[in-house]
């Protein structure tokens, strides 16, 4: 269901249901939650990469599991499990990168949207097709997509259920980088490796400032920024950063 590989300060989390196009069900959500909690407490891991085995990132939520539900409450609980783990990823103190190939649809795209950055293989397709099933995205898609795309484009994707390709997603800023076919994981790992060079406390604080600050008025957000950087000034990593700059070498940050 989920494979975890830790190497070079990266935790690579691979959705591993290629026969089901990495459909995301309750068990995958549970395993992903456990993996993220483990990675959060591992000081040797500085960033996370999410990818999928086989020919796609993820086809979305597990329709087989959904079809087994007999009451709306069961579906609500299922959506809650996905929403919770995506929220955990979005608020994760370590930066995350999604490596998208083939396609990322529905809950699969919602997983990628919860990551900080996205790399997509040329020709990959990204979409929220739930409208074609008579429903809507329920694990953050209707809220995260309009925060990453122009509102009119997000509405078009959600209300028509039609996907866009990776090239279009890159042009619109939904995707940070494009990769050649077969090279998306390597490109995502390279991008994530650049993040691991940063100071862990500053990385986590930077995520909070951006994510929380967007919901504040500008004056409040700048005050929040001022207090946050003042706290970072007192860290050992700040001292190491200045020392490394003077000595013209990379900083050796320890998250303290």
C-alpha span between 82 and 32 (Å, rounded): 10
| Nearest residue to 7 via CA among 147, 192, 138 | 192
Would you give the end-to-end CA distance of the chain in angstroms?
35
- Is 49 in a helix, a strand, or coil? strand
- Is 149 in a helix, a strand, or coil? coil
C-alpha span between 62 and 64 (Å, rounded): 5
C-alpha span between 158 and 245 (Å, rounded): 47
Beta bridge partners of 125: 103, 165
C-alpha span between 53 and 39 (Å, rounded): 20
| Residue 47, H or E segment | strand 47-52
C-alpha span between 107 and 109 (Å, rounded): 5
C-alpha span between 256 and 244 (Å, rounded): 16
Strand 103-105 to 96-100 pairing = unpaired
Active site residues: 110, 130
| Residue 120, H or E segment | strand 117-121
Cα 106–Cα 109–Cα 110 angle in degrees, nearest 5: 85
């Amino acid at each position: 269901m989920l494979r975890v590989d830790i190497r070079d300060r990266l935790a690579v989390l691979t959705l591993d249901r290629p026969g089901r196009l990495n459909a995301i069900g309750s068990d995958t959500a549970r395993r992903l939650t456990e993996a993220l909690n483990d990675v959060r407490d591992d000081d040797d891991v500085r960033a996370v990469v999410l990818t999928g085995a086989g020919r796609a990132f993820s086809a979305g939520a597990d329709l087989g599991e959904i079809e087994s539900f007999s009451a709306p409450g069961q579906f609500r609980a299922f959506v809650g499990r996905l929403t919770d783990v995506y929220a955990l990823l979005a608020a994760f103190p370590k930066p995350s990168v999604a490596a998208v190939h083939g396609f990322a649809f529905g809950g699969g795209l919602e997983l990628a949207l919860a990551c900080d950055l996205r790399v997509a293989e040329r020709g990959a397709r990204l979409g929220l097709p739930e409208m074609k099933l008579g429903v809507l995205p329920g694990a953050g898609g209707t809220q995260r997509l309009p925060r990453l795309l122009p509102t009119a484009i997000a509405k078009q994707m959600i209300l028509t259920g039609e996907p866009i390709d990776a090239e279009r997603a890159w042009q619109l800023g939904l995707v940070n980088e494009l990769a050649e076919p077969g090279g998306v994981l390597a490109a995502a790992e390279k991008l994530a490796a650049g993040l691991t060079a940063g100071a862990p406390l500053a990385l986590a604080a930077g995520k909070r400032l951006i994510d929380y600050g967007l919901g504040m008025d500008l004056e409040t957000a700048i005050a929040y920024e001022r207090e946050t950087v003042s706290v970072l000034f007192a860290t050992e990593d700040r001292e190491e950063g200045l020392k490394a700059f003077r000595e013209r070498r990379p900083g050796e940050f320890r998250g303290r």
